Amino acid sequence: MKKLKWIVPLISAIGIGVYFVVIKPKIDAKNIAFTYTSLVKGDIESIVSSTGTLEAINTVEIGTQISGTIKRIYVDYNDKVTAGQLLAEMDLKLLETNLVSAQANWAVSEAQYNRVKDEFQRNMVLFEKNVISEQEFVASKYAYEQALSATKAASAAVKNIQVNIQFARITSPISGTVIERSVEEGQTVAASFATPKMFVIAEDLSKMQILADVDESDIGYIKNQMQVRFTVQTYPDKPFLGLVSQIRLQPIQVNNVVNYQVVVDVDNTEGLLLPGMTANLEFITQKASDVLLINNSALRFRPNELMLEDIKPVLEEKAKVLPDAIYQNFVRAIHNEETYVPARFKKSLPATTDGFFYTDDKGNIDFKFIEIGIKTGLQSEVKRFFDGSEVSEDMKAINGIKSKK
């Protein structure tokens, strides 16, 4: 009787343990309410984001090659100019004085040259008749050649000043718009070491470009003639469009991050965009219209361990629709205790293959393998169901669970 007294409580304890360890969790696993997200038709884009600066496609810095005082300026900011148009004039007083002096020196040199030339020609005749010595003839020849060189130098000095006088008239080499003016009338500029910048002219502001820095991790997605959408701060709700025209291969390192400069051509016929504006760009790497989309929350859904164990035979059966190599890898993975866990049970699938849980008409949990197309942070394109079933809109995928009260 004493033994019986101990056996009854022991059996009761074991039964309670079995209930809480085995039976109750399975009951709780069935007692689950799911949250769902619907598969819908829509448009999707894959983008690479960047920032850049708007610039005119062709800008020319105009300066002066001579030093002096600016006598007059004929243009201002935003003025439209044509090629050859006079922009400014330098004061010519000093140059004109130098020209007179140079012309006088040239005249003296020519007079000296003519005198020495006559003497040389006369001595040449006398030398041929053995009237003068060779030394006298050589001396007269040297004087002649020296005078000739001096005359050429004086002539070049005159031409140099004449050219500088022409440089005193600052003209525009291109037709465009004055976007910068760095000088004022009466200001003295020195061109001794570098050409001073006086004006900057943009050739055509109806066509502009953006210089965008793209991270090395994204540059592989950028292609020539790729469409780009961007906004500027002054028009945050107005999207502008452009096209990639050049990917510059020179790397630029900023804060230990390698970037590459991408040139984007922009139409600015409306005149809303100005040089120097900061543009927030979206390079459209892929896009599709009217395709079936699934919210990524359904692809990221993690079932609990009991639910995953119950669905294991279903997963193995449904995986038969996959290509053989993918199927073999997946089956091996779900039979591996380390990989068959809620967080990793789909890790063996390639990037273009995924799947989601759903409930069938009888309320049982089921699974579909899908081929993924374009993928963004929020949605993914469903290209097809691997089981061959029709890609249907409004199908509901499980994206969460909550315990029933």
Q: Which of 255, 290, 325 is the last residue of a domain?
A: 290
CB atoms near residue 201 (< 10 Å): 26
Please check whether residues 239 and 126 belong to one and the same domain: no
Least confident piece of the model among 137-141, 232-236, 294-298: 137-141
Contacts of 101 (CB under 8 A, 6+ apart): none
pLDDT category of residue 18 using cuts at 50, 70 and 90: very low
Please check whether residues 192 and 72 belong to one and the same domain: yes
pLDDT at 404: 54
Q: Which of 290, 312, 340 is the last residue of a domain?
A: 290
Residue whose entry in the numeric block shows the structure tokens 């809480």: 20
Q: Is residue 300 part of a domain?
A: yes
Q: Is residue 78 part of a domain?
A: yes
pLDDT category of residue 403 using cuts at 50, 70 and 90: low
CA neighbor of 229 nearest in space, from 244, 239, 221:
239
Please check whether residues 181 and 220 belong to one and the same domain: no
Domain hosting residue 360, numbered range: 35-43+292-403
The answer on pLDDT for 72 being more than 80 is yes
Please check whether residues 330 and 349 belong to one and the same domain: yes
Q: What is the CATH number of the domain that holds 120?
A: 1.10.287
The answer on pLDDT for 30 being more than 80 is no
Please check whether residues 349 and 330 belong to one and the same domain: yes
pLDDT at 33: 84
pLDDT at 263: 96
pLDDT at 8: 45
Please check whether residues 263 and 317 belong to one and the same domain: no
Please check whether residues 280 and 318 belong to one and the same domain: no
pLDDT at 293: 94
How does pLDDT run across 330-388, given as a tens digit for each residue? 999 999 988 899 989 999 999 999 999 998 888 888 999 999 999 998 999 999 999 98
d(CA 366, CA 378): 23
Please check whether residues 87 and 190 belong to one and the same domain: yes
How does pLDDT run across 237-274, given as a tens digit for each residue? 999 999 999 999 999 988 888 999 999 999 999 989 99
Q: Is residue 248 part of a domain?
A: yes
pLDDT category of residue 93 using cuts at 50, 70 and 90: confident
Give the full edge-to-edge strand order of the sheet including 80-81: 59-63, 197-202, 176-181, 80-81
CB atoms near residue 339 (< 10 Å): 16
d(CA 390, CA 405): 36
CB atoms near residue 227 (< 10 Å): 15
| HSE, side-chain direction, 13 A CA sphere, residue 296 | 9
CA neighbor of 204 nearest in space, from 58, 73, 64:
58
Q: What is the CATH number of the domain that holds 248?
A: 2.40.30.170
The answer on pLDDT for 66 being more than 90 is no
**For the chain, percent of residues with pLDDT exceeding 90:** 54
Q: Which of 265, 290, 315 is the last residue of a domain?
A: 290
Q: Is residue 162 part of a domain?
A: no
Q: Looking at the chain, how many residues does it have? A: 405
Q: Is residue 17 part of a domain?
A: no
With the C-alpha atoms ordered 334, 338, 342, 344, is the resulting torsion angle positive or negative?
negative
Q: What is the CATH number of the domain that holds 75?
A: 2.40.50.100
pLDDT at 317: 92
pLDDT at 241: 95
Please check whether residues 250 and 179 belong to one and the same domain: no
CA neighbor of 386 nearest in space, from 342, 327, 332:
327
Phi/psi at 64 (nearest 5 deg)? -125, 140
Please check whether residues 39 and 123 belong to one and the same domain: no
Please check whether residues 330 and 311 belong to one and the same domain: yes
pTM of the complete model: 0.68
The answer on pLDDT for 223 being more than 90 is yes
234-239 long-range Cβ contacts below 8 angstroms, 24+ apart: 234/277, 235/272, 238/272
Q: Is residue 110 part of a domain?
A: yes
pLDDT category of residue 399 using cuts at 50, 70 and 90: very high
What would the mean pLDDT of 137-147 be, rounded to a whole number? Answer: 88
Q: Is residue 268 part of a domain?
A: yes
pLDDT at 373: 93
3-state secondary structure the chain: CHHHHHHHHHHHHHHHHHHHHHHHHHHHHHCEEEEEEECEEEEEEEEEEEEEEEEECCEEEEECCCCEEEEEECCCCCCEECCCCEEEEECCHHHHHHHHHHHHHHHHHHHHHHHHHHHHHHHHHHHHCCCCCHHHHHHHHHHHHHHHHHHHHHHHHHHHHHHHHHHCEEECCCCEEEEEECCCCCCEECCCCCCCEEEEEECCCCEEEEEEEEECCCHHHCCCCCEEEEEECCEEEEEEEEEEEEEEEEEEEECCEEEEEEEEEEECCCCCCCCCCEEEEEEEEEEEEEEEEEEHHHHCCCCCHHHHHHHHHHHHHHHHHCCHHHHHHHHHHHCCCCCCCCCCCCCCCCCCEEEEEEECCCCCEEEEEEEEEEECCCEEEEEEECCCCCCCCCCEEEEEEEECC
Q: Is residue 11 part of a domain?
A: no
Please check whether residues 189 and 245 belong to one and the same domain: no
Number of domains in the chain: 4
